[in-house]
Amino acid sequence: MVILISLEMVTLFVPPMATVFNSSSIVTPVIILLNHIIHMQSSGFISSNMYQHGFFSANIKLPSNYSAGICVAFYTSNGDVFEKTHDELDFEFLGNIAGKPWRFQTNLYGNGSTHRGREERYRLWFDPTKGYHRYSILWTAKNVIFYIDEVPIREVLRNEEMGSEYPVKPMSLYATIWDASNWATSGGKYKVNYKYAPFVVEFKDLVLKGCSVDPIQEVSDNDVCSDQNVDLEAQDYANVTPMRRLAMRRFRQRFMYYSYCYDTIRYPVPPPECNIIPAEKQRFKETGRLKFGGSHRRHSRRGGRTSTPVEDTDQGDM
């Protein structure tokens, strides 16, 4: 059972960019949990409104101790409205064994293109259970940027060749925790152990900045949202400055261990949005894994969402 909580029930703030990543504002945390005692295999919340482009952000604290087998997701989607042609942008945190670096993935779908997963997988460079860190998704008509704190970790630039596989329909913001024992941690090797329950995720300082629309309205969203989209694209976080691009490059060099763009077995011809960087490409095998470790196995869709398991076998210094 998924418990859905209207974000309008939570105190929201939409500060200027100067304070988005350095906010001192305190709001009561939203807590979601996984607990077999009350027979929940998942829980979460969803925004009351759907947005045509936007900036979605929250300070998040992940479950501590042993959390293998769980999946914590912070994402935008319209799968409840467009079941066969849904769009999605997501962070997924893939459970953890105490003492191991947390692993997570980002993904993008447009128009139900789940057959062309665009996963990238990484390790976190900090312990996300010790305190709050800000995770953000920027979605405009031109690009998608995933942020952790002030660091952009991934940018997808829209181009004509992507066609309908770039997300274009209004989406809601979701946050969920669920039992993903069959794939989340080491490809399903480590299951959820409910003796460590409840598994608690805390969210605070939620940000939704975008154009709220009716997903089935006949009026063009371009007309309704033109001013707000211009304002969104003018925000500081919509611009990957040279300093931010350097930070992104360093992150990807140190902590990315799988990229679909370098998985030539899965995609002999890289998808059109891939920016192939020779120095980056030489670090990966034809499977898209790092040459010194890592694993990738595809996984079928579950619960209206698509995910791919990750092996905890990559090596490298934090």
Phi-psi category of residue 110: left, alpha or beta, with phi > 0 → left and psi -120 to 50 → alpha: beta
Count up the domains in the chain and report the number: 1
192 within domain boundaries = yes
Q: Which pLDDT score, from 0 to 100, does residue 1 have?
A: 41
56 within domain boundaries = yes
Separation CA 107–CA 88 (nearest Å) = 8
All residues at 6 or more sequence positions from 111 whose CB lies less than 8 Å from its CB, including other chains: 85, 87, 164, 165, 168, 169
Dihedral of the alpha carbons of 274, 160, 87, 181, in degrees to the nearest 10:
-20
Dihedral of the alpha carbons of 179, 181, 187, 189, in degrees to the nearest 10:
150
Stretches where the chain sits below pLDDT 70 are: 1-28, 37-40, 217-222, 292-318
CB of 64 closer than 8 Å to CB of 24: no
Tell me the β-bridge partners of 175: 45, 74
Separation CA 273–CA 162 (nearest Å) = 7
Separation CA 43–CA 199 (nearest Å) = 11
14 within domain boundaries = no
Long-range contacts from 159-166, C-beta under 8 angstroms, 24+ separation: 159/272, 159/273, 161/272, 161/273, 162/110, 162/271, 162/272, 162/273, 164/110, 164/111, 164/113, 165/109, 165/110, 165/111, 165/113, 165/116, 165/271, 166/110, 166/273
pTM (predicted TM-score) = 0.84
Q: Which pLDDT score, from 0 to 100, does residue 218 have?
A: 53
Separation CA 12–CA 207 (nearest Å) = 6
196 within domain boundaries = yes
9 within domain boundaries = no
Burial class (CB in 10 A: 0-12, 13-18, 19+), 282: exposed
317 within domain boundaries = no
Separation CA 84–CA 200 (nearest Å) = 32
Alpha carbon 218 to its chain's center = 30
297 within domain boundaries = no
Separation CA 170–CA 214 (nearest Å) = 8
All residues at 6 or more sequence positions from 69 whose CB lies less than 8 Å from its CB, including other chains: 95, 179, 180, 181, 184, 185, 190, 191, 192, 193
CB of 127 closer than 8 Å to CB of 111: no
Separation CA 84–CA 81 (nearest Å) = 9
82 within domain boundaries = yes
Residue 281, domain extent: 19-215+225-289
Annotated catalytic residues are: 88, 92
All residues at 6 or more sequence positions from 10 whose CB lies less than 8 Å from its CB, including other chains: 27, 28, 30, 206
CATH number of the domain encompassing residue 53: 2.60.120.200
All residues at 6 or more sequence positions from 90 whose CB lies less than 8 Å from its CB, including other chains: 73, 74, 75, 76, 77, 106, 107, 305
Report cis status (omega within 30 of 0) of the bond before 272. Answer: no
Q: Which pLDDT score, from 0 to 100, does residue 37 have?
A: 60
Q: Which pLDDT score, from 0 to 100, does residue 2 have?
A: 43
pLDDT tens for 107-141 read 999 998 777 789 999 999 999 999 999 999 999 99
